Amino acid sequence: MSKLLSALVLAALVLPAPADAAKKRKPKPVASASPRANEGAVKELMGEYDWGMTPDQVLGVIEKKIASTYEEQIKKTPDVFEQTRLRKQIKAEVADVKKTLIPFNGQKTGWDVSIVEGEFGHKNDESMLVWQERDQKGAIGNQRFFFFVDGKLWKMFIAFNMDAYADKSFDVFRKAMESRYGRSAEQTRINAEGKEVFASIYWRGGGYYLRAIDLLQFYANFCLAISDDTVEKWIATRRQERFPKAAPKPYVKGPGGSSDPSNDPNSNVVEEITGGGKKPIDAKPKD
């Protein structure tokens, strides 16, 4: 009897578990290493800009935005000559933005050592346009950089007006960004001493790659970059092929240690930074 009992126990141990039990033991899917940003917030950030726009198309959007800041003034002005002068002023401001268009063809530029120094590559058919935003009252807001490759828009880089962040740490900025875009993941980079240091936080998905960047130490700025994720996946390789002397991109460690290539207490703080301010952005290129 004891031998029979032992055999039955052994059989029970080696027999496959019932299907229901197997389902219960099925491991849960692993969460994605790259958190996705809130889609509505991303669309708001993109606004009227679309990936693939030419510089002239981007300038067309900018002209509408500049014109909107003069709209009330023109309506309230009965003098036709004054209206004409204001419309000419709009065109002049757009022309000034157009003058900032610069190709990165291998020649040294003032932007090679600047707040956007890690955001472009030379000899890769890349170029950039810069616009200093202003609000409806004419107060200086954020500075926006438009990056093109093969003549098509693929990235925007925003240097925030820092009025809302005077004496604030990046942790405060991070909380503001996460309140708008959702939970983020951290990125690191290798500094000049070869050490791994914090660089930024990021979100990825829906065709976008979004970064909130801490440049407080060197440029006294917090920045936000949004790019076409499809281009991000191939542009570093093409840069290296076309201009091998270009510095390698820093690497990123996401949740769980996964790697991902990359470029380098106010409740209303988000509204403050996105609504503009009065202090100019200190993001000019160095000579």
DSSP assignment of the chain equals -HHHHHHHHHHHHHSPPPHHHHHHTPPPPPPPSSPPPPHHHHHHHHTT--TT--HHHHHHHHHHHHHHHHHHHHHT---HHHHHHHHHHHHHHHHHHHTT-EE-SSS--GGGSSTTTTS--SSSSEEEEEEEEE-TT--EEEEEEEEEETTEEEEEEEE---GGGTT--HHHHHHHHHHHH---EEEEEE-TTS-EEEEEEEEEETTEEEEEEEEHHHHSEEEEEEEEHHHHHHHHHHHHHH-TTSPPPPEEE-GGG-EEE-----TTHHHHHHS--SSPP--PPP-
Q: Which of the residue ranges 170-174, 249-253, 278-282 would you say has the lowest mean pLDDT? A: 278-282
Is residue 69 in some structural domain? Answer: yes
Taken in order 199, 200, 206, 207, is the CA torsion positive or negative?
Answer: negative
Q: Is it the case that residue 265 has pLDDT exceeding 80?
A: no
Distant-in-sequence, close-in-space partners of 232: CB < 8 Å, separation ≥ 6: 209, 261
Is residue 19 in some structural domain? Answer: no
Tokens of 86: 């204001």
* pLDDT on residue 34: 85
Beta pairing, strands 196-205 & 208-215? antiparallel
Tokens of 43: 């669309």
Task: Give me the count of residues in the chain.
Answer: 287
Query: Quick one: which of 267, 264, 268 has its CA closest to 252?
Result: 264
Give the residue, 37 or 189, on which the prediction is more confident.
37
Instruction: Give the number of other Cβ atoms within 10 Å of residue 222's Cβ.
Output: 27
* pLDDT on residue 172: 95
Is residue 235 in some structural domain? Answer: yes
Residue 29, sorted as left (phi over 0), alpha (psi -120 to 50) or beta, turns out to be beta
Mean pLDDT of 44-68: 96
C-alpha span between 143 and 116 (Å, rounded): 11
Q: Which of the residue ranges 95-104, 105-114, 250-259 would you say has the lowest mean pLDDT? A: 250-259
Is residue 26 in some structural domain? Answer: no
Q: Is it the case that residue 9 has pLDDT exceeding 70?
A: no
Is residue 198 in some structural domain? Answer: yes
Distant-in-sequence, close-in-space partners of 41: CB < 8 Å, separation ≥ 6: 180, 181, 182
Sheet with 102-103: strands ordered across: 102-103, 126-134, 140-149, 152-159, 221-228, 208-215, 196-205, 185-190
Domain containing residue 195: 33-274
Q: Is it the case that residue 287 has pLDDT exceeding 80?
A: no
Is residue 25 in some structural domain? Answer: no
Query: Quick one: which of 234, 172, 181, 164 has its CA closest to 45?
Result: 181
* pLDDT on residue 277: 39
Q: Which of the residue ranges 5-19, 79-93, 145-159, 185-199 would you say has the lowest mean pLDDT? A: 5-19
Count of domains forming the chain: 1
Taken in order 26, 27, 28, 29, is the CA torsion positive or negative?
Answer: negative
* pLDDT on residue 286: 45
pLDDT bracket for residue 214 (50, 70, 90): very high
Q: What is the mean pLDDT of the chain?
A: 82
Is residue 8 in some structural domain? Answer: no
Tokens of 249: 């991109």
Is residue 143 in some structural domain? Answer: yes
